[in-house]
Chains A and B, each alone.
Chain A
Amino acid sequence: MIGYIVQRLFAILVILVVMSMLIFGVTQILPGNVAYVIAGQFATPDVVHAIELKLGLNDPIYVQYWRWASGILRGDLGQSLVMERPVGPIIADALGASAILASCSFVFVATIGITLGVIAAVRQNKAVDHGISIFTYVGISVPEFFWGIVLVIVFARYLDWLPPGGRGDASDSLLTRISYLVLPTATLTFTLIAHVSRMTRSSMIETLRTQYVRNARAKGLPERVVIWRHALRNALLPTITVLAVDIGWLIGGIVVVETVFSYPGLGRLMIYALERHDLPLIQGSILIITAIYCSANLLADLLYAFVNPKIRYGNAVR
């Protein structure tokens, strides 16, 4: 098991190195020039040239890459060109905000998705099953920004129950700060829940047909124990894989949702950086997202091993 984890960590390292090259390469060929952005609309060529020299933009690309990459190894992601602050703390702040939003959404996607999936499987082909199907499909078929806007119009504009966007600040009460999270979380959950509930439903239906579930019923266990103890534990294995993949979708969704709700997270920061051509900020945020995605998948695989005793205990008992 430890060998396996070491192997996986090494693989993640390789991915991060390759990704850092890709990120750097792609941001280099983006149209536009940082020096012009910094110097502003009315700058003379001399000023632009001076800025280019100061930032080392005329150095060969591998020198620039090495400057950036070795900086990361020292924990320095560079200086934001637009905000003129170190990238690290900017990303850390945004990441914190996004993490709250993402983890709330993820918890809801997992719990509601699995529960809906189990209910749909147990009531297979009944009205409840069809209802859940329609509900989750409606969610997945329409993009996040649409639901975001609909929710804002209904709950913020007409009903005025919840704030339309933003995050609140430290002086607000806990309840107020939670209220800022409700609409973005609901939007993300609604668009992602179909994956989890459909996968749970189909693997649950398969599991409910197995011999060991029949055997559990033959032992006279109540249906509730049969479903939640005997069937769900085995049906969850494919769901875990889907949840890990969903983290990727969640990151994509968060960029849109944060923009719609003006939520100051990593997604909105990236849009901001792209608009202003702030290369170090773009590079830093993408690299962080890559790292998060890799670790989430590693975590899912470890969880998979934990839930599946065939991986956890390999040896035969004689």
Chain B
Amino acid sequence: MSQSALLSVSNLTVAYETRKGRLKALDGVSFSVSTGETLALVGESGSGKSTIALATMGLLGPEAAISGSISFEGRDLAGLSAEDRRKVRGRDISVVFQDPFTSLNPSLPIGLQVAEPLIQHLGLSRNEAMKRAIAALTEVGLPHPERLLTAYPHQLSGGMQQRVLIATALVCDPTLVVLDEPTTALDVTVEARILDLLDEIRRSRQIGMLFITHNLGVVNRIADRVCVIYAGRIVEIGAKNDVLNAPSHPYTKGLLASLPRLSARDHQQRLAPIGGRFPDLTALPQGCAFAPRCPFAEAKCNEPQPLHPLGDGHAARCWKAEALRQTPWPVPEAPKTIAARAPAMQGELAVRDLSKIYALGGSGGAIRWTRRFGLPWLKIERPILRAVDGVSFAIPAGEVLGLVGESGSGKSTLARLAIRLIEPNGGDVVFNDKSVNKLRGKALKSFRQAVQIIFQNPDSSLNPRRTVGEAIARAVTLHTSVPGKDRHNHVENLMDRVGLPRSYYDRYPHQLSGGEKQRIGIARALATDPVLVVCDEPVSALDVSVQATVLNLLSDLRDQLSLSYLFISHDLSVVAHIADRIAVMYAGKIVEVGSTTAVLEPPYHPYTEALLAAIPLPDPALANRHRTVLKSDVANARADTGCPFHPRCSRKLGTICETVTPPVVEAAPGHNIVCHIPLKDLERVPSVLPPERVTS
């Protein structure tokens, strides 16, 4: 490397004293970032990657015990006084944090927030600083920057807020920018736009970037070099192409293998998850921290592992790295121990023309004179949101329907409507030819048994004061006729089914990992012997390796118990992995529905095309694949007339899209696209999926 190191971290260790003992968040981490280079730090939650960001910025609290050196442009930052350290922050090194929705101060205008570092560090006057702020807002692609100066954060969408934060980070011309999961909270189409922006800034400004993420697809899109972190230690480091093409540490192999592949051919193949649990950071072993979860582990792994050089700056903390180069991560067999069950009852769920309208709060709305009971009456007309707008679909027995859409598309509302947790404003849910909305008493109870739900966040859907056994037993008591003395047994059988050890019966939720908690949610849903389970983002709160185990479990259960799923996710690759059919939802409407293979290949609805194209894939050969970038940073920006998608559509025909509701076009039997563009034109669009590659 000819470039000089801009940031060089060596032997960085961060520890906290806890009640359980000394917790090592980071353990001897060393890396460097050069000018104009992007180094990606990859790891799952708890790996310590955000601690690196905070340590670099000098923002760790006084309770953190820090050792090692952080050298920036030849100065050791760790040796600086707090005051000198502050003067570096925001001027020479700046940071963009994960969640744009909470990173801007809600009660200060945007202009001041962007201009603040200029006034503070460069001593500019308020006027000059505002001028520079306008330039910075323009650089990050925000329209009407002058108007934004006096706007407040809540008036902006998430994508725009993240652009404001990037502008703030760049405003003092820093030489290094730390980006801590800058796109994780954003929708995939907005993420694609922000990644494009970051790439462009890196090229035009020649600054160093330390990019922290858990997403290997994003790494592939943005990074030059990659550093994989596990339990506070670097396990693999090297050029992006080397690490992604030839992952050498077993953990890196496992991470890549556990990703569902976005491919029409490979879907529904078993994923290869990483088994076991994330280690306890207060009791890390001397040897490899990953060994307990590693299928290649041997006795020698318990010795301390140095970074093992593999050439060209590529290194892995594994003595077997060289030997394992060609060995892929093993795919587990489906468990055969639990017998398949004949379906107790059949069930088909259909929703017809379902609608849900919400009144928007706030002080907005026109005041109008009306009459009520023949008397004049002052009425405030609040704006309304059509969260779900005339949706119809059917899930035949045994089928998995995937429902994909970005935030605000109405997919969670639809899930709640489908199981009658909330009442619709129009339309009907039909289960086995009976209208669910008319069910009362016993009939409603038997519907509740037949149709169950798994929620997104296992942390908040479990009562922290109930043990695992009690949580599952509750569902058994409420919905089944299992006699009291058999209940314990029944719960243990359910725990077997979802792969929870029986010893967990008396544990509390906080003693469990995220994946284990989600298994409780699944066991609870299965307690009633349902025929259909609504899965509302069941894996989106989980790390990728855990996500793979839960997805495998869900497909195994489906095979064993002949279940149907309504599987809802924002992640098209997850949906494509598990679903037989996919419905794509935009602004409360289904814009395309068809078999998984049909939806993944042309003809596409322009929105499906954009969604597919925006997904960052971890294959270096596809780092800069053709991407249809959508207009606007607002996921689910909606239009009241015509096609709801026309404000963001890159293939808009003209006024017809703005005024006329698009027709349902049958592209193939069972494959419907709601679009004005003639089918033959849609068929000419090339596939945005990667070409099938022979996997080694």
Interface residues of A (CB under 8 A from B): 1, 3-4, 210-212, 214-222, 225, 229-230, 233-234, 307-311, 313-318
Are A211 and B117 closer than 8 Å at their CB atoms? Answer: no
In the complex where A212-B104, A307-B107, A317-B151 touch, is A218 in contact with B95 (Cβ < 8 A)? Answer: yes
Chain B's closest residue to A215 (CB) is B103
Are A230 and B105 closer than 8 Å at their CB atoms? Answer: yes
Are B152 and A313 closer than 8 Å at their CB atoms? Answer: yes
The residues in B between 164 and 189 inclusive whose CB is less than 8 angstroms from any CB of A are: 165, 168
Are A234 and B106 closer than 8 Å at their CB atoms? Answer: yes
In the complex where A4-B363, A316-B156 touch, is A218 in contact with B102 (Cβ < 8 A)? Answer: no
Determine if B441 is an interface residue (Cβ-Cβ < 8 Å): no
Contacts of B367 in A (CB 8 A): 3
A305 to chain B, nearest CB (A): 9
Given contacts A218-B94, A220-B121, A313-B152, 13 further A-B contacts (CB under 8 A): A210-B102, A211-B99, A211-B103, A217-B59, A218-B90, A221-B117, A233-B108, A308-B106, A308-B107, A309-B154, A310-B154, A314-B362, A317-B156
Are B168 and A219 closer than 8 Å at their CB atoms? Answer: yes
Contacts of B88 in A (CB 8 A): 220
Are A218 and B89 closer than 8 Å at their CB atoms? Answer: yes
Contacts of B157 in A (CB 8 A): 316
Cα distance A307–B105 when bound, in Å? 13
Determine if B311 is an interface residue (Cβ-Cβ < 8 Å): no
Determine if B203 is an interface residue (Cβ-Cβ < 8 Å): no
Cα distance A315–B365 when bound, in Å? 11
Contacts of B94 in A (CB 8 A): 218-219
Determine if B16 is an interface residue (Cβ-Cβ < 8 Å): no
Chain B's closest residue to A210 (CB) is B102
Cα distance A221–B105 when bound, in Å? 14
User: Nearest 3 A-B pairs (CB), nearest first?
Assistant: A220-B90, A220-B89, A219-B90
In the complex where A1-B363, A310-B154, A314-B363 touch, is A220 in contact with B120 (Cβ < 8 A)? Answer: yes
Cα distance A225–B388 when bound, in Å? 45
Task: List 11 A-B pairs, Cβ < 8 Å.
Answer: A3-B363, A211-B103, A215-B103, A216-B116, A218-B89, A218-B94, A219-B117, A220-B117, A309-B152, A313-B152, A317-B148
Contacts of A314 in B (CB 8 A): 362-364
Cα distance A307–B95 when bound, in Å? 28
Q: What number of residue pairs across chains A and B have CB atoms under 8 A from each other?
A: 99
In the complex where A211-B102, A212-B103, A311-B363 touch, is A219 in contact with B116 (Cβ < 8 A)? Answer: yes
Determine if B626 is an interface residue (Cβ-Cβ < 8 Å): no
Contacts of B363 in A (CB 8 A): 1, 3-4, 311, 314
Contacts of A234 in B (CB 8 A): 105-107
In the complex where A3-B367, A211-B97, A219-B168 touch, is A233 in contact with B107 (Cβ < 8 A)? Answer: yes
Cα distance A318–B116 when bound, in Å? 24
The residues in B between 188 and 238 inclusive whose CB is less than 8 angstroms from any CB of A are: none
Cα distance A82–B506 when bound, in Å? 76
Determine if B341 is an interface residue (Cβ-Cβ < 8 Å): no
Contacts of A212 in B (CB 8 A): 102-106
Are A309 and B57 closer than 8 Å at their CB atoms? Answer: no
Binary contact readout B355-381 vs A (1 if CB under 8 angstroms, 0 otherwise):
000000011100100000000000010
Determine if B440 is an interface residue (Cβ-Cβ < 8 Å): no
Cα distance A230–B363 when bound, in Å? 26
Cα distance A220–B120 when bound, in Å? 8
Are B86 and A222 closer than 8 Å at their CB atoms? Answer: yes
Determine if B325 is an interface residue (Cβ-Cβ < 8 Å): no
Are B106 and A310 closer than 8 Å at their CB atoms? Answer: yes
Are A315 and B364 closer than 8 Å at their CB atoms? Answer: yes
In the complex where A3-B380, A307-B107, A314-B362 touch, is A221 in contact with B116 (Cβ < 8 A)? Answer: yes
Contacts of B570 in A (CB 8 A): none
Contacts of A313 in B (CB 8 A): 151-152, 155
Contacts of B148 in A (CB 8 A): 317
A227 to chain B, nearest CB (A): 13
Are A316 and B105 closer than 8 Å at their CB atoms? Answer: no
Chain B's closest residue to A4 (CB) is B363
Cα distance A229–B116 when bound, in Å? 11
Are B116 and A218 closer than 8 Å at their CB atoms? Answer: no
Cα distance A314–B625 when bound, in Å? 40
Chain B's closest residue to A316 (CB) is B155
Cα distance A229–B108 when bound, in Å? 9
In the complex where A218-B89, A220-B88, A220-B90 touch, is A317 in contact with B155 (Cβ < 8 A)? Answer: yes
Are A215 and B89 closer than 8 Å at their CB atoms? Answer: no
Contacts of B109 in A (CB 8 A): 309
Contacts of A229 in B (CB 8 A): 108
Cα distance A307–B59 when bound, in Å? 29
Are A215 and B91 closer than 8 Å at their CB atoms? Answer: no
Q: Which of A1, A221, A233, A317 has the most CB of B within 10 A?
A: A317
Chain B's closest residue to A236 (CB) is B107
Cα distance A121–B412 when bound, in Å? 39
Chain A's closest residue to B104 (CB) is A212
Cα distance A204–B688 when bound, in Å? 50
User: Which of A215, A225, A311 is close to B120, meaning CB atoms less than 8 Å apart?
Assistant: A225
B172 to chain A, nearest CB (A): 9
Cα distance A225–B88 when bound, in Å? 17
Contacts of A221 in B (CB 8 A): 86, 90, 116-117, 120
Chain A's closest residue to B85 (CB) is A220
Q: Which of A233, A308, A309 has the most CB of B within 10 A?
A: A309
B68 to chain A, nearest CB (A): 21
Are B364 and A217 closer than 8 Å at their CB atoms? Answer: no
Q: Which of A233, A316, A318 has the most CB of B within 10 A?
A: A318
Contacts of A1 in B (CB 8 A): 363
Chain A's closest residue to B364 (CB) is A314
Q: Which of B144, B155, B168, B367 has the most CB of A within 10 A?
A: B155
B212 to chain A, nearest CB (A): 14
In the complex where A218-B89, A218-B94, A218-B95 touch, is A230 in contact with B155 (Cβ < 8 A)? Answer: no
A311 to chain B, nearest CB (A): 7
Contacts of A233 in B (CB 8 A): 105, 107-108
Cα distance A309–B109 when bound, in Å? 9
Determine if B87 is an interface residue (Cβ-Cβ < 8 Å): yes
Determine if B442 is an interface residue (Cβ-Cβ < 8 Å): no
Are A309 and B107 closer than 8 Å at their CB atoms? Answer: yes
Cα distance A313–B106 when bound, in Å? 12
Chain B's closest residue to A221 (CB) is B120
User: Which of B120, B147, B151, B364 is close to A219, meaning CB atoms less than 8 Å apart?
Assistant: B120
Chain B's closest residue to A230 (CB) is B105
Binary contact readout B123-156 vs A (1 if CB under 8 angstroms, 0 otherwise):
0000000000000000000001001100110111
The residues in B between 365 and 423 inclusive whose CB is less than 8 angstroms from any CB of A are: 367, 380
In the complex where A218-B94, A222-B86 touch, is A315 in contact with B104 (Cβ < 8 A)? Answer: no
